[in-house]
C-alpha cells in the first residue's frame, strides 16, 4: 500500500482523518459494545488511509497513527462482533 502525501497543516486534514475525531469514537465505543457501526466506521477510515495527529514530526509533516493504533481499533471491532454473536436471542416485548 502506497503512503499518502503527508499533510503539513492540521486544518487541511479531512475531519474524519483527524486523531481527535477517531479517538472520541473509539472511547465512546467501549460503553456501547453492541453498537458496532461506531467502531466499524473508525476501522474503515484506518484501513483506507492514515489518521493524523495535531503534532509534527522532525520533517515538519503531521504525525500519523501507528500500527499499534490500527491494531487496537480492529480489536475493538472484533470484540463488538464477538459480543453480538454471543448475545442470546431476546424475545420481543
**DSSP code per residue over 55-85:** EE-TTSPEEE--HHHHHHHHHHHHHHHHHHH
Residue 69 has a pLDDT of 79
How many Å apart are CA 40 and CA 46, to the nearest integer? 10
pLDDT of residue 6: 78
Give pTM, 2 decimals. 0.69
pLDDT digits 0-9 by tens, 45-86: 887 889 999 999 999 999 998 888 778 777 777 777 777 777
pLDDT given at position 13: 92
pLDDT tens digit sequence for 38-47: 667 777 888 7
| Rounded Cα gap, residues 48 and 86, in angstroms | 29
Amino acid at each position: 500500500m502506497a503512503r499518502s502525501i503527508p499533510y503539513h497543516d492540521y486544518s487541511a486534514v479531512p475531519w474524519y482523518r483527524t486523531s481527535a475525531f477517531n479517538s472520541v469514537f473509539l472511547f465512546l465505543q467501549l460503553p456501547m459494545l453492541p453498537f458496532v457501526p461506531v467502531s466499524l466506521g473508525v476501522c474503515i477510515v484506518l484501513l483506507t488511509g492514515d489518521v493524523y495527529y495535531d503534532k509534527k514530526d522532525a520533517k515538519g509533516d503531521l504525525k500519523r497513527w501507528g500500527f499499534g493504533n490500527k491494531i487496537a481499533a480492529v480489536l475493538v471491532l472484533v470484540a463488538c462482533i464477538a459480543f453480538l454473536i454471543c448475545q442470546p436471542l431476546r424475545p420481543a416485548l
